[in-house]
Amino acid sequence: GQNIDQPTEMTATEGAIVQINCTYQTSGFNGLFWYQQHAGEAPTFLSYNVLDGLEEKGRFSSFLSRSKGYSYLLLKELQMKDSASYLCAVMDSNYQLIWGAGTKLIIKP
């Protein structure tokens, strides 16, 4: 079966750095996406990785290791507005997105 695992909840302090991990087992791989979802709102796109390595976009970076079936999202200089759920999704061999259940990130002052 296809599976995406990520922690259910994480807590971090404003101004700090947090790393949200995602491991996956899917039928094929055509890229990994990270989305942000604030409570009661729609998911919005953050990043895409298809090759191994780190992609940096401002305060957010995403890393991929295809051989390990592993990715992480790194958030730096945390702000209160970063309190949200972070969804990991893998595009499988049929170009369908398989979604993790999401990691709820709580930022404390």
Partner 1 sequence: DAEITQSPRHKITETGRQVTLACHQTWNHNNMFWYRQDLGHGLRLIHYSYGVQDTNKGEVSDGYSVSRSNTEDLPLTLESAASSQTSVYFCASSESAGGYNEQFFGPGTRLTVL
Q: Which residues bind partner 1 (CB under 8 A)?
A: 4, 30-31, 33, 41-45, 48, 50, 87, 89, 91, 95-102
CB closer to partner 1, 78 vs 85 = 85
Q: How are beta strands 60-65 and 70-75 bridged, if at all? A: antiparallel
**Strand order from edge to edge, sheet including 60-65:** 3-5, 18-25, 70-75, 60-65, 53-57
Residue 84: count other Cβ atoms within 10 Å of its Cβ: 20
CB 16, min distance to partner 1, A: 27
CB closer to partner 1, 12 vs 100 = 100
- Nearest C-alpha neighbor of 96 from the set 33, 40, 13: 33
CB closer to partner 1, 83 vs 92 = 92
- Nearest C-alpha neighbor of 77 from the set 88, 61, 97, 89: 61
CB 81, min distance to partner 1, A: 19
CB 1, min distance to partner 1, A: 11
CB closer to partner 1, 34 vs 72 = 34
